Amino acid sequence: MVQRCSYVRNLVQSLRAASFPSKLADYRRYTSQAAASVRVASQPSAYSDDEYADVDWDKLGFGLTPADYMYVMRWSKDENFKQGQLRPYANIELSPSAGVLNYGQGLYEGTKANRTEDGRILLFRPDQNAARMRVGAERMCMPSPSIEQFVDAVKQTVFANKRWIPPPGKGSLYVRPVLFGSGPILGLAPAPEYTFLIYASPVRNYFKDGTAPLNLYIDEEFVRASPGGAGGVKTITNYAPVLKAIARAKSRGFSDVLYLDAKNRKYLEEVSSCNIFIVKGNFISTPAANGTILEGVTRKSIIEIARDHGYQVEERAILVDELVDADEVFCTGTAVGVAPVGSITHQNRRIEFKSEGRLVSREVYSTLVGLQTGRIEDKKGWTVEIH
């Protein structure tokens, strides 16, 4: 690892010495340009490795603020995935007939890097993201990086962009690995070439209201996933279809949509971008991952943390009618963390939940964040330190 980080450090320094913009505006400029080959801008950078990027950390939200570098690795029928490259963040070239554009053959992951009070940089369970991508790739008929390749690529990306990791308590560096069919294909078939890339952006709260309790809406017209489909993997095709439901809910003043099962329309599944939990006394329940629900890394972690705290956690089918008896409801996800739910509206009936005082969600979230930021000793081997 020391040799690898030394390699990354030297590469980053050489790229900066060659030419790369030092102002945030220069990075944002890339997002509006036409697709072009990866290139290095002509403005030299004067930042040292130890300086923070020029960001107002107190105003950080969940918008795209591209960090300096991205990681790129490719696969073809003649050559499997091998060591990729760090490149300046920029647009990429893509064939109009690329599999991802024509048939939606793509997956993505999300993980975070945090800066501890004593200056360390920690990743949280990146191997779980790697394993989930491999499962998704198999479902989508795609090759995928090995778990070791995935984790190593995340480490390199984070190390190269470490000045974009917010100060302790000010947010995280969100890391987005993407795997997609980049090769040209006309007939419906797997693409002949694939690209694995990782980019990063500093973020803070996912919802615009920050840590305020969410107000969810159950939309019975739309479903997120169907039995036999791909709802259980993180394919890109699961997300655009929910945009209409989200837009409609937000126009009515709600935070997001809670979806029911496609077959019976009476069991809870998940929210657009996160899993859901309900609390009744000492029991915590979450919908079972049965192929239509994404097995979130945060979901998996919260289940174990809650059990460590003495709660009885069940993964089971949850009837929508059970909401009226719930003491507390909360959502989990890499982007949202652990978010309390203040209310859920179903068939014009608003059901309210406890969102103040001693909350189970706050208790388990405190432990989760403590592990992610190094404030709590990691006895589970969940965190990965980048030197």
Q: How many CB atoms lie within 10 A of CB 290?
A: 14
Q: What residues have CB less than 8 Å from 10, skipping those under 6 apart?
A: none
Token pair for residue 383?
């965190």
Are residues 242 and 222 in contact, defined by beta-carbon separation less than 8 angstroms?
A: yes
Closest CA to 367 of 385, 382, 386, 387: 382
Catalytic choice (112, 155, 162, 234):
234
CA 146/CA 152 separation, integer angstroms = 10
Query: Which neighbouring-strand residues pair with 345?
Result: 217, 350
Are residues 179 and 137 in contact, defined by beta-carbon separation less than 8 angstroms?
A: yes
Q: How many CB atoms lie within 10 A of CB 326?
A: 18
Known active-site residue 234 = yes
Are residues 345 and 257 in contact, defined by beta-carbon separation less than 8 angstroms?
A: no
Q: What residues have CB less than 8 Å from 353, skipping those under 6 apart?
A: 213, 326, 327, 328, 329, 340, 341, 342, 343, 344
Q: For residue 300, what is the enclosing H or E element?
A: helix 297-308
Q: Give the active site residues.
A: 234
